[in-house]
Amino acid sequence: MILSAFGFSLMAVCVKLASGQGMPVLEIVAARALVSLVLSYIDVRRKGISLLGHKKRLLLSRGTVGALALMCVYYAITHLPLAEATVLQYLHPMFTAVLALIFLKERIQTSTMLSIIFSFIGLLLVARPDILFGVSKNDFSLLAISAAVLGAFGSAVAYVLVRKLNETEDASVIIFYFPMVALPISLSLLGSDFVMPTGWTWLTLLLVGVFTQIGQIGLTKAMKTETASKATAFSYLQVVFAVLLGWIMFGEIPGLWVSLGGGFILFGAIINVFWRR
């Protein structure tokens, strides 16, 4: 999970760099999917197992949800500072709890309720909607913040699906389905907006895929060998990496409101992980 967090943080840096080099978000998603598709195909063939897996409908659902969430996350990364975009991703425990209540009829425990409350307060502090904080108090695009929140929601759905699929599927097959679905979706939506990469942009796009693959492998392996709560605890290092890399690469320093909001979101998530009856 530590390797996964670092891999995803470096991926975010490359996404931001590629966007700064003139690449559309959907093209970055397609490039990431293409690289991951090739690497995943090689990995599955190396193991000598079936590409299609057992629960195909569930695998396709994971791929579709993951692809749409990825588009939202990449949009947020390209339009928000790295730390802000990353910390909003950690709203997913709140969404996971709500989804479990609605669809699985799971009772929300005290720790989960506290997590939801703290996460929601944190979201308000980061987004600072005008209706609560007055006019022109928000420094960030509402569309970008909404994309980050939607990305967190999609991540919550995908997170639950990965945990379920680990019962019957090989980790490499689960990873393979993600880019297999994401590539055609992103290309069809991109259409005529394609921009031919030049120079260092080729390397940047390649690294987006490589670092994503490192992050995916680490995440999927951790979910297979450890309980979800213990594995998730280490993923919060991604916020630390994002703050450091955002400062080093882009000179981004989180402001007071973002720091407070991020603290609430992370505190809520950590309560949910470490709570003991």
Average pLDDT over residues 64-79: 93
- What does DSSP assign to residue 193? G
Give the CA radius of gyration of the chain.
18
Q: Does residue 69 carry a pLDDT above 70?
A: yes
CA dist list (Å): 86 to 104, 257, 271: 28, 15, 19
More confident residue, 28 or 118: 28
Average pLDDT over residues 40-66: 89
pLDDT digits (tens, 9 = 90+) for 224-259: 776 655 666 667 777 788 888 988 998 888 888 888
Percent residues over pLDDT 90 in the chain: 30
Least confident range of 13-27, 49-63, 108-122, 217-231: 217-231
Q: Where are the domains of the chain?
A: 2-111+141-252
Long-range (24+ apart) CB contacts under 8 A made by 254-257 are: 254/81, 254/83, 254/84, 255/139, 257/125, 257/126, 257/128
